[in-house]
Amino acid sequence: MKEDFYYTQARSSGYRSRASFKLQQINKKFSLFRKGQIIIDLGASPGGWSQVASHLVGSGGKVIAIDKSYITPFKESNIEIINKDILNRNLSSLLYAKHGVIDGLISDCSPNISGDFSRDHSIQISLAKRALLLATELLKIDGFFISKLFQGSELQTFMDDLKQHFEIGKLYKPAASRKKSAEIYVVGLKYIGTLESNTKEKKE
């Protein structure tokens, strides 16, 4: 089964989760990552996406892995762990004070699945909205955004909102996602910026 394949591949490759392959496949499709970039990974635990991102940005880049849950320290020296809830009101200012504007924000955040699809979908969209808000506060012009979504009634409204901030907004379901899952990923390309973000970038 595909699920067993990716799980086995993750273990043999030293990745912490099979989700690592989802980010690899997203990047293969859209060519987002570059050496030397600064990337924020929201809801990073257990750290599979952070591992992939760290390899893609190289030793001259930086990945900031954020989660309220404990994250086991990485062997990769270019990953910084921040143990905070992504809903923390001070998170944006804390990150900007330490790292300035960033090249990309990625989020594989997901709710604890209740089995009530409407509820789970709504919570997932709320998490994606939080990720998008942080992206608009921290991204450089032309930066990128990736977030997990669940397909459902609120998806189009979210996409309409995203397209106000990015020149291009795409939906993509990587091969590593289970076919039966409602999971899909949104990719925002070429961040347009806001007055506040443009002012921040000029100060850099």
The structure tokens listed for 141 are: 């012009």
Closest CA to 168 of 186, 149, 183: 186
> Do 204 and 136 fall into the same domain?
yes
> Do 129 and 74 fall into the same domain?
no
Question: CATH number of the domain that 204 lies in?
Answer: 3.40.50.150
Active site (annotated) includes residue 148 = yes
Q: 7: domain range?
A: 1-78
**Burial per residue of 59-96, b for 16 or more beta-carbon CB atoms within 10 angstroms, e otherwise:** eebbbbbbbeeebeebeeebbebbeeebeeeebeeebe
Which pTM does this prediction carry?
A: 0.89
Last residue of a domain, one of 78, 97, 112: 78
Q: Is the model's pLDDT at 144 over the cut of 50?
A: yes
Question: How many domains is the chain partitioned into structurally?
Answer: 2
pLDDT in tens, 37-60: 999 999 999 999 999 999 999 999
Confidence of residue 115 (pLDDT cuts 50, 70, 90): confident
Q: Is the model's pLDDT at 1 over the cut of 80?
A: no
pLDDT in tens, 93-111: 999 999 999 999 999 998 8
Evaluate whether residue 54 is within a structural domain.
yes
What pLDDT sits at residue 11?
66
What pLDDT sits at residue 107?
98
What pLDDT sits at residue 114?
83
What pLDDT sits at residue 195?
47
- Which one is catalytic: 22, 140, 148, 200? 148
pLDDT in tens, 117-130: 899 999 999 999 99
Q: Provide the CB-side half-sphere exposure for 166 (13 A, CA).
A: 25
* pLDDT more than 70, % of the chain: 89
